[in-house]
Amino acid sequence: MSSAPSIHGDVAAGFGPVADAFRRNFTDHGEIGAAVAVYAGDQPLVDLWAGHRDRKREVAWERDTIVPVFSSSKGMSAFTLATAVSRGLLDYEAPVAKYWPEFAEHGKERITVRQLIDHQAGLSGLDRIVKLRELLDRDALGELLAAQKPAWRPGTRHGYHALTLGLYQSELLRRVDPAGRSLGRFFAEEIAGPVGAELFIGLPETESMDRVAQLSATKGWDIWRYEWRDLPLRIGGEVYAKRGYSYAALTNPRPGAPARAARREFLEVEWPGMNGVGNARALAEVYGAAAGRTGVLPISADVLDLLAAADTADDVPADDLVLHTKSRYHLGFRKSRGTFRFGSDKRAYGTTGLGGSFGFADPATGLGFGYSMNRLGMAILDDVRSRNLREAVVRCAA
């Protein structure tokens, strides 16, 4: 067991068990630095941070510390598309090619917006190796994405589009936004700004790197001490063998080692759904605004109802071709499924991030949840640290 660090922040009456679970993540589960937040609409119920933002445990994690949250930012991308749908710029059931004609290449003319954002399009990998700096040339990137052949018949299966989904979303949004904005700029102006959430998709030059926590890979004895139940052996085998859907989806574009993501040359590139940087408070603020229907998000009530739908309309098999687990996607978000459950009921929606970060909306209670940390866990979906916190939140809310 490790010693418990000082816990900073505030907890509303009745939510003390969340602080207890947060403390145990440090003593029992190897937390280095982390934050957790819960918002009821725009009101904070939990806003806690503790530990250190560096691997040597010398620099304290502070209230304004931010950290890469990886695919937890996929939820923010989904909210941007939900905004476009609310404004009549997009239709979830319309073909992507209606808005992006070049996308129709190689039999993709029938892929709908819903199928694309629900990881059903077969576009989880790219045939050509793409380097990080190539993501800056949006026109050339758009041509490459449009020319990609699906890896399976679209709409028949699903597989996590880990690195590619945000690129497709951004190009699609750029095509329909009257101002021609990229997804990162759209999110900053339409969602993060009005909500007041400090989460960036493309870190601005004005933001100091001193705020960004270092990431720490779990290595050596700590793997067996904290992570042995969650080792992604089948995924690791495909990546090692350099073949299979997992290898194609998780290695291109080339992001580099996850533990090295907290560097400006990576974070300044706008890579939606992959390199968002922020904190638990920002995630909880956005999800709280959605779950609590505060009116600050530019998303219509009808679309918020769609996001919170208890059941998806399609009948796609639950086996994820990339993650080799049961998964359920809905309009760009994850839904509770099988052993991975979150929120009060099936209406809850959110996204997880590599290493363990997580954010979700719980429409049943009107709560938004966010968790961010800098020790990278190995769980595919259900990191024990996040699970401890969200289960405590649900118990307190009940």
85-111 average pLDDT score: 97
pTM of the model: 0.96
77 counts as catalytic: no
pLDDT tens per residue across span 210-233: 999 999 999 988 888 888 888 888
Query: Tokens 């390199």 correspond to what residue?
Result: 275
**CB within 8 Å of 321: residues ≥ 6 apart:** 124, 152, 157, 158, 159, 245
The pLDDT assigned to 311 comes to 65
- pLDDT at residue 314 tops 90: no
Helices 280-291/74-86 angle, 10° precision: 30
Confidence class for position 146, pLDDT limits 50, 70, 90:
very high
Q: Are 7 and 50 in contact (CB under 8 A)?
A: yes
pLDDT of 340? 86
Top-confidence residue, 5 or 122 = 122
Give the CA dihedral 152, 89, 173, 245, nearest 10 degrees.
-10
Per-residue model confidence (pLDDT) at position 317: 41
Top-tier CATH class for 1-398: alpha beta
What pLDDT score does 229 carry? 82
**Average pLDDT of the chain?**
94
Residue 275 has pLDDT above 50, yes or no: yes
> What does the pLDDT read at residue 316?
45
Among 12-26, 63-77, 179-193, 331-345, where is mean pLDDT lowest? 331-345
% the chain with pLDDT above 90: 88
Domain edges within the chain: 1-398
Whole-number pLDDT of residue 224 = 85
Give pLDDT tens digits for 320-337.
Answer: 999 999 888 999 999 987
Q: Residue 256's pLDDT band (boundaries 50, 70, 90)?
A: confident
Distance from chain centroid for Cα 267: 15
Least confident of 252-256, 286-290, 384-388: 252-256
Least confident residue range of 2-16, 142-156, 306-320: 306-320
Q: What's the pLDDT score for residue 315?
A: 43
pLDDT category at 310 given cuts 50, 70, 90 is confident
Provide the pLDDT for residue 255.
85
Identify the band that residue 374 occupies on the pLDDT scale cut at 50, 70 and 90.
Answer: very high
Higher pLDDT, residue 184 or 254: 184
Average the pLDDT over 304-324 and give the result: 78
Q: Examine the pLDDT at 318 and tell me if it is beyond 80.
A: no
Over residues 9-30, mean pLDDT: 97
Selecting among 6, 71, 73, 344, the annotated active-site residue is 71
Kindly report the three-state secondary structure assignment for every residue of the chain.
CCCCCCEEEEECCCCHHHHHHHHHHHHHCCCCEEEEEEEECCEEEEEEEEEECCCCCCCECCCCCEEEEEHHHHHHHHHHHHHHHHCCCCCCCCEHHHHCHHHHHHHCCCCEHHHHHCCCCCCCCCCCCCCHHHHHCHHHHHHHHHCCCCCCCCCCCECCCCCCHHHHHHHHHHHHCCCCCCHHHHHHHHHHHHHCCCCECCCCCCCCHHHECCCEECCCHHHHHHHHHHCCHHHHHHHHHCCHHHHHHHCCCCCCCHHHCCCHHHHCCCCCCCCEEECHHHHHHHHHHHHCCCCCCCCCHHHHHHHCCCCCCCCCCCEECCCCCECCEECCEEECECCECCCCCCCCEEEECCCCCEEEEECCCCEEEEEEECEECCCCCCCHHHHHHHHHHHHHHC
